[in-house]
Chain A
């Protein structure tokens, strides 16, 4: 009896293993798209799936919404293992690695109902595909999905509390920035309850992007591999920018990293008076923390009195068709549909640089943009023309890692700026040797 039971158990085991490894085959054409997840945007993206499947009943779209930090990894692994991956989204900082390895298919105008690639490109604002990282060696691969730039943000309530005038006292230079920051710091019972400024204290990417702007303002070209390596020959400028940033923690003490980890959330919950890593989309998420919009003001990145007139980093996301796409033309059509709702997105602050849709109608309504995004013309559009460039390199992650190491060894590890710069020089040089 026991023997029979054992046999049955083993059969059940075997059967379940076999069953669980089988995939039910569907008749429909499948398109698997790798994207990131964000509560306010997910419904809009899901709506695109519905629209596309309504137009193409023979197709089935699987929209994979992955956490931002994980997405690039998943894409890389799926491509390497020849998995199911028809299309995906990448930022302009991350696309170079994949483009240089031939992982994407160049734009096929048939997917948009056009006959030339130029007609497709013209549906977006001039230069958008470049800024969003969709171009490689003069060929077009990516459909822009977001175009934004970092500006500075300040809490005007806190300004008034500190006796500052929001109309006139917003920082214009980095020295102003420190002075204002000091006024916005708040201590209670001997411990810090509000920072003057903060950035993300755990994830290096954000500090990297701010420092990138500072370096560009010092006249160093951190937007290209060659420029980056050449900039290593200018330790004085490197030190100057690094000192400005690390002094926020070390000398000026307007940033106490142990107060909170995340700058966007920190600003939204009143734990900091200013932060530097928000684009137009921040309007959409600020509501999440119940921070009244009237309390928030964006303003252009401060400048050096003796530096280049350039602002926060400009960045974008593109949608790509992968080299493993089973039906590239249909997949481009899917991407077209996905990128066809700029008005729905702008209402939550998400800016898509699309001018016309494939059927010729207007895509992004400029009036809607202005009404959804406070200070759209004054701050964002103005700064959009003067953005620092985010490095596009196959070794981008390693660069970011080395830069964060330089920053964190000063703000956490007590290292001197000069030592840090020396390490940075050797790290960057060995990355690109």
Chain B
């Protein structure tokens, strides 16, 4: 018995060591980013490299908002919030409704249509940027929030995930509700959606981080300063001759915060959500 205890003790130590080491490695770049945002420009890439700032640059975060009158970071943050929230809500809507439809109803073309939807995952975004932009322009949505939100709300992964989830819900509740005379949409809203909450929360994190960080589409669609999103703002921050690295990193840290906070709130639902979708098999 005691030999088991000892080997368990050793295993535990090794395990904790491995986990702690991994944790450090994974968090380090973020930590380094924060640290460098408190350095002065000349110290970030100085030779020899100093770990801690030789002098602490407490102004970088303030300067992000005050020293660059052409970069309206509060506005960019607001835009990112608007676009992300609406795109995620729209995504949940599409995924939940179509996932439910594919999973719970047997109709002609079910499998075929689903395969078509799924195939869209394989369409590289770069491939459709130009035709999509021209189309968006034609319907008058260039340089608008809608022009950002609608394309960014479409992901076949969400449809796939929700379909998997709804498959795993037994039909009994639904049948009995039907017998009670409820119409299909009421059933969806009152029975389907509530049970799907955790899966929807998981999908929220997944999609929110994609939309929030997406750079390439806003770069093409938006050119008026008032609709620029945060990812764009940071990328735009590169000056022609010199990039203000501390301020760019500070803006980067600020950009990471909302998602980190969102994740901290929803993290416990994430694993649950994936489990419940039966995604893993």
Contacts and interface: CB of A to CB of B under 8 A. Distances in A.
A–B proximity contact (CB within 8 A)? yes
Given A3-B186, A42-B69, A62-B224, A36 B240 contact: yes
8 contacts: A20-B149, A21-B140, A21-B146, A46-B69, A83-B223, A264-B241, A269-B42, A285-B242
Contacts of B46: 269
Interface in B129-159: 133-134, 137, 140-147, 149-150
Nearest to A193: B47
Contacts of B82: 20
Contacts of B133: 77, 81
A37 B140 contact: no
A290 interface: yes
Interface residues of B, number: 45
Interface string B35-53: 0000001100111100000
A194 B70 CA distance: 35
Contact of B242 (A16, A84, A265): A265
A17 interface: yes
A78 interface: yes
Contacts of B48: 188, 193
Interface of B: 41-42, 45-48, 68-70, 82, 86, 89-90, 93, 133-134, 137, 140-147, 149-150, 185-186, 189-190, 219-220, 223-225, 235-236, 238-244
A64 B222 CA distance: 11
A398 to B, nearest CB: 18
A288 B242 contact: yes
Contacts of B45: 260, 269
B47 A13 contact: no
A193 B82 CA distance: 46
B176 to A, nearest CB: 18
A38 B68 CA distance: 10
Given A36-B240, A67-B236, A17 B149 contact: yes
A161 interface: no
A68 interface: yes
Contacts of B149: 17, 20
Nearest to B93: A13
Contact of B90 (A13, A38, A290): A13
Contacts of A3: 185-186, 189
Given A20-B146, A21-B144, A64 B242 contact: no
Given A16-B86, A42-B69, A83-B142, A2 B190 contact: yes
Contacts, number: 108
Contacts of A167: none
B70 A42 contact: yes
A67 B235 contact: yes
Contacts of A22: 144
Contacts of A305: none
Nearest to A281: B241
Given A2-B190, A3-B186, A64-B224, A21 B141 contact: yes
B86 A13 contact: yes
A17 B137 CA distance: 16
Contacts of B90: 13
Contacts of B93: 13
Given A83-B137, A289-B41, 17 more contacts: A3-B185, A13-B89, A13-B93, A16-B86, A17-B145, A17-B146, A17-B149, A18-B146, A38-B241, A62-B224, A66-B236, A67-B235, A83-B142, A193-B48, A269-B42, A285-B242, A288-B41
Contacts of B236: 37, 66-67, 70
A271 B235 CA distance: 25
B239 A81 contact: no
Contacts of A64: 223-225
Interface string A18-50: 101111000000000010111100110010000
Interface in A268-302: 268-269, 271, 281-282, 285, 288-290
B246 to A, nearest CB: 13
Contact of A21 (B47, B145, B235): B145
B242 A289 contact: yes
A138 interface: no
Interface in A78-134: 78, 80-84
Residue with the greatest number of chain A CB neighbours at <10 A, chosen from B41, B133, B185: B41
Contacts of B243: 265
Nearest to B227: A20
A6 B89 CA distance: 12
A2 B189 contact: yes
